[in-house]
Structure 1
Amino acid sequence: MFDKIMEAQQKAGEVKTRLDAVTVTGIAEGGKITVTANGNKVVQSVTIDDSLLKDTDKEQLEELLVIAINKAMEQADNVSQSEMAAMTKEMFGGLGGLFQK
């Protein structure tokens, strides 16, 4: 049983590593704001088009940033859930033998 727990911890570490390598993007205002993050919900960069800075007030810019960040986080959630589901399926497939011992 302890081996299975260690295996689960190892697989969780592997999933985290894979999610670190996944890039997700949230876009707002037709691409004038782009937020890039990884699958572990760590924001990597924020890009704001210069024209948007000239034409938008602070409040609007803040709202657009929130939209772009939320879109990136939603994508990261989706990727993370897919990875975790795959890991869980793999683990439960392996646990079937555990109960037969």
Structure 2
Amino acid sequence: MFDKIMEAQQKAGEVKKRLDAISVTGTAEGGKITVNANANKVIQSINIDENFFADADKEELEELLVIAINKAMEQAENVSQSEMAAMTQQMFGGLGGLFGK
């Protein structure tokens, strides 16, 4: 049992490292605002088109930043769930026979 716990912790650490290396992007206003993050939901950068920035008002900019950030976080969540599901399947996939499946 203890070995399984240690293996799970090790696999979780490996997944975290993989998620750190995966980039996701959220955009708004046709790419005028771009948010880059990793799959661990850490924002790496925000880019705002200079021309858009010069013409946008504060409220519009804030609104579009929220949209772009939420899109990036949604992508990060999807990637994270896929990676965790793959790890779980890898670790416990062979247990189906124990439950008559």
Q: TM-score scaled by structure 1? A: 0.92
The separation in 1 between residues aligned to 2:68 and 2:41, in whole angstroms, is 13
2:41 is matched with which residue? Answer: 41
In structure 1, the partner of 2:16 is 16
Residue 70 (structure 2) aligns with:
70
Tell me which stretches of 4 or more aligned residues in structure 1 moved more than 2 Å. 93-98
**TM-score normalized by the length of structure 2:** 0.92
Secondary structure of the 2:47 match is strand
Letter in 2 for 1:52: F
1:50-70 CA-partner distances (Å, limit 9, x unpaired): 111111100000000000000
> Could you say which residue in structure 2 is the equivalent of 1:53?
53
- List gaps (5 residues or longer) in structure 2: none
Provide Cα deviations, 1:13-37, integer angstroms capped at 9, x if missing partner. Answer: 0000000000000010011000000
69-78 or 84-93: bigger deviation: 84-93
Report sequence identity in percent. Answer: 81
Alignment size in residue pairs: 99
Between the aligned partners of 1:16 and 1:37, the Cα distance in structure 2 is: 14
2:26 maps to which residue?
A: 26
> CA RMSD for the aligned pairs?
1.8
Which residue does the alignment assign to 1:85?
Answer: 85
Q: In structure 2, do the counterparts of structure 1 residues 44 and 63 end up closer, same or farther at CA, with 3 Å as the change threshold?
A: same
